[in-house]
């Protein structure tokens, strides 16, 4: 199958800026679609499990078509650059660990970034950093997939398709709440924020 991958510039426009995190997600998603022989998802056939909530996830969402709203982008708050891609019709899932850029190829780049992010860099240093980062990103984006991510076929329990639940009215704040997220508080059906408020006072 001839897999079409979203253009990098379109991903940058979606996210708002270019950065190494976005590039890592882009390379991971690109590798996954090609190895799974899958086009961009239309309606939940492809499922992605991400283990962080940084810039990379926006690239993965845009390239794969997996979204939280459709229920096929699953977030696990582990703080790791790890992404698992599953086809509901497939027997195996693909687990990718993003490697990032080899710092030896661009010595001093991390130090420059830290100085810029801390607000300690002057205008000339900011300019030099932007130029070096642009060069690093271009290098990273053109690298072979195996140099940007480690890949492993794994057994992965695939989450069921998104379900539509009934809504209840929270008897404390009066707002709607999804039925499985409601809790009982003093005999009344309440939403999680109202239940948490109660529990924090105990």
| Global confidence as pTM | 0.82
The model's pLDDT over 167-177, given as tens digits with 9 standing for 90+, comes to: 999 999 999 99
Top CATH class of 8-154 equals: alpha beta
**In the prediction, which pLDDT does 135 show?**
92
Strands, DSSP E only, in the chain? Answer: 46-50, 73-75, 82-87, 93-98, 149-154, 167-169, 176-178, 183-185, 188-190
Pairing of strands 167-169, 46-50: unpaired
H/E stretch holding 111 reads helix 109-117
* CATH tag for 167-200 (out of 3.30.60, 2.60.40, 3.40.50, 3.30.1460): 3.30.60
Name the burial class of residue 144, with classes exposed (0-12), middle (13-18) and buried (19+) by CB atoms within 10 angstroms of its CB. exposed
Residue 152 has pLDDT above 70, yes or no: yes
- Domain boundaries in the chain? 8-154, 167-200
Residue 199 has pLDDT above 90, yes or no: no
Q: Most confidently modeled of 44-58, 90-104, 113-127?
A: 44-58
Contact (Cβ atoms closer than 8 angstroms) between residue 171 and residue 189: yes
Per-position DSSP letters for 21-67, written without gaps between them: HHHHHHHHHHHHHHHHT--S-SSSSEEEEES--STHHHHHHHHH---
**In the prediction, which pLDDT does 201 show?**
45
The model's pLDDT over 129-145, given as tens digits with 9 standing for 90+, comes to: 999 899 999 999 999 99
**In the prediction, which pLDDT does 200 show?**
45
**In the prediction, which pLDDT does 83 show?**
98
**Average per-residue pLDDT for the chain:** 91
């Amino acid at each position: 199958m001839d897999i079409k991958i979203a253009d990098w510039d379109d991903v940058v426009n979606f996210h708002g800026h270019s950065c190494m995190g976005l590039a890592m997600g882009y390379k991971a998603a690109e590798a996954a679609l090609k190895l799974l022989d899958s086009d961009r998802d239309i309606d939940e056939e492809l499922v992605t499990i991400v283990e962080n909530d940084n810039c990379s996830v926006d690239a993965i969402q845009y390239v794969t078509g997996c979204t939280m709203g459709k229920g096929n982008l699953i977030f696990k708050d582990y703080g790791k650059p790890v992404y698992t891609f599953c086809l509901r019709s497939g027997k195996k899932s693909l687990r990718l660990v993003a490697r990032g850029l080899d710092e030896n190829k661009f010595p001093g780049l991390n130090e420059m970034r830290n100085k810029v992010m801390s607000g300690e860099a002057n205008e000339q240093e900011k300019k030099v950093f932007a130029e070096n980062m642009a060069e690093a990103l271009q290098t990273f984006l053109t690298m072979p997939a195996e140099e940007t991510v480690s890949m492993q076929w794994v057994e992965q329990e695939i989450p069921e398709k998104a379900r539509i639940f009934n809504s209840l009215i929270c008897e404390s704040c009066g707002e709607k709440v999804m039925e499985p997220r409601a809790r009982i508080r003093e005999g009344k059906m309440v939403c999680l924020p109202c239940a948490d408020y109660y529990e924090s006072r105990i």
